[in-house]
């Protein structure tokens, strides 16, 4: 069964009045499972890991359509991933149902300087009755700030402010600031805070493999399945 981001992509495509053409032109055939060209498909490399945490992706309008979107990778790795399109004037009722589900403790993942101090936390509370649900605002930096400001249904949840130990290694898009991480990198840090350590490692390794395949496909180069990034992912998958 397609995961949440794949279903959101299908829904968004169904509403399109004209086809969405990713870079590469109208003839660019892509795998439906990983969005890469078939010769560089990574579907068989998808890691299977258990997580206690869940992920809720609020995605800007065309974000699910972009082959370089890394929220898709989170949905590949974390079984309890939920994805919703964001709009300023309306909210998906299913999102409100999810946020009110008593099994979850939602955290809005966003920098502390954009929230009142009373809402900001830097750690995840570990309890036996609630599982952490990380709300990731998936879009450009300008889109994410708009989503944070104009989503009143998020205002009662703690804001989890992250302190990454290194700069982003994601190279498929140009960030507005070197400190900005891609969505999958943010997701991996959240999994670490939730003590889903194996899943965090697997997501990081999977991101590296995805990036490698994406770049190799772009330059029409073969992939070495025995290189460091592939071996690392394989080792983590075997230990899961």
Cα–Cα distance measured from residue 121 to residue 144, given in angstroms and rounded to the nearest whole number: 19
pLDDT, position 23:
53
Do 36 and 67 meet the contact criterion of CB atoms below 8 Å apart?
Answer: yes
The ranges assigned to domains in the chain are: 8-15+48-239
Do 38 and 191 meet the contact criterion of CB atoms below 8 Å apart?
Answer: no
pLDDT, position 21:
53
Cα–Cα distance measured from residue 45 to residue 24, given in angstroms and rounded to the nearest whole number: 24
Close Cβ partners of 62 (under 8 Å, ≥ 6 residues apart): 12, 20
pLDDT, position 18:
59
Looking at the DSSP bridge assignments, the partners of residue 120 are 159
- Residue 21 corresponds to which tokens in the numbers above? 């053409």
Q: Would you say the pTM of this structure is higher than 0.85?
A: yes
pLDDT, position 173:
58
Please report, in tens digits, the pLDDT of each residue of the chain (240 residues total). 899 999 999 999 888 655 555 554 445 688 999 999 999 999 999 998 999 999 999 999 999 999 999 999 999 999 999 999 999 999 999 999 999 999 999 999 999 999 999 999 999 999 889 999 999 999 999 999 999 999 999 999 999 999 887 667 666 655 544 457 999 999 999 999 999 999 999 999 999 999 999 999 999 999 999 999 999 999 998 776
pLDDT, position 25:
42
pLDDT, position 220:
92
Pairing mode, strands 131-138 and 104-109? parallel
């Amino acid at each position: 069964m397609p995961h949440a981001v794949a279903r959101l992509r299908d829904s968004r495509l169904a509403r399109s009045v004209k086809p969405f053409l990713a870079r590469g032109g109208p003839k660019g055939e892509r795998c439906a499972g990983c969005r890469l060209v078939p010769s560089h498909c990574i579907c068989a490399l998808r890691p299977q890991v258990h997580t206690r945490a869940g992920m809720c992706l609020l995605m800007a309008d065309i974000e699910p359509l972009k082959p370089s979107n890394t929220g898709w990778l989170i949905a590949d790795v974390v079984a309890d991933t939920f994805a919703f399109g964001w709009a300023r004037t309306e909210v998906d009722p299913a999102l409100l149902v999810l946020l009110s589900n008593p099994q979850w403790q939602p955290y809005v993942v966003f920098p502390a300087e954009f929230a009142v101090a009373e809402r900001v936390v830097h750690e995840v509370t570990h309890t036996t009755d609630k599982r952490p649900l990380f709300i990731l605002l998936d879009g450009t930096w300008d889109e994410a700030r708009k989503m944070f400001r104009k989503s009143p249904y998020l205002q009662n949840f703690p804001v989890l402010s992250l302190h990454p130990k290194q700069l982003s290694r994601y190279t498929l898009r140009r960030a507005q600031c070197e400190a900005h991480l891609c969505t999958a990198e943010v997701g991996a840090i959240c999994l670490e805070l939730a003590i889903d350590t194996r899943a965090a490692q697997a997501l990081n390794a999977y991101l590296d493999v995805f990036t490698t395949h994406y770049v190799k496909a772009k330059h029409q180069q073969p992939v070495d399945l025995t290189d460091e990034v592939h071996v690392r992912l394989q080792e983590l998958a075997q230990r899961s």
